[in-house]
Amino acid sequence: MAHARAFDDDDPLLARLRAIALALPGAQEKLSHGRPAFCTRKVFAYLGGSTREEYAAGLRPPRVSVLLEPDERLTLLAEGAALPAYLGPYGWVAVDLEDADWERVAELVDASFRVTAPKRLVAELDGRG
């Protein structure tokens, strides 16, 4: 069963996230469960990240979900990041995009890319200086 499209293509937050994610080597965008997902071989960022309680209440706060090293993930959770429904148990964490520090968002997307991307793409990113 296909999921309904759960985002607006004209969303300025999505445009900023797209610019960050698609600037990474080999990055592509695809739809996953009705939301944009950014990937190489594996997904490194999703637009979205409702908690189970928010999801049950029909709330979809503007967030980006990323997969980080365990210590960085714990730090973000301690700082108030959300544990996204369904993805949280697999190491993902969701960060608010409204009033976001976009340099920090770029750092988190970069970190998630480095966890998920093939070594050759990480080396290509490092080679950019």
For the chain, 129 residues long, give each residue's pLDDT as a single digit of tens.
566 776 678 899 999 999 999 999 999 999 988 889 999 999 999 998 877 787 778 778 899 999 999 999 999 999 999 999 889 999 999 999 998 999 999 999 999 999 999 999 999 999 987
Q: What is the pTM of this model?
A: 0.92
Rg (CA), the chain: 14
Give the burial class of 51: count Cβ atoms within 10 A of its Cβ; 0-12 exposed, 13-18 middle, 19 or more buried.
middle
Tokens of 55: 């999801």
What pLDDT score does 6 carry?
67
State how beta strands 92-96 and 28-32 pair: unpaired
What pLDDT score does 57 carry?
80
In this structure, CATH architecture of domain 12-121: Alpha-Beta Complex (3.90)
Give the burial class of 72: count Cβ atoms within 10 A of its Cβ; 0-12 exposed, 13-18 middle, 19 or more buried.
middle
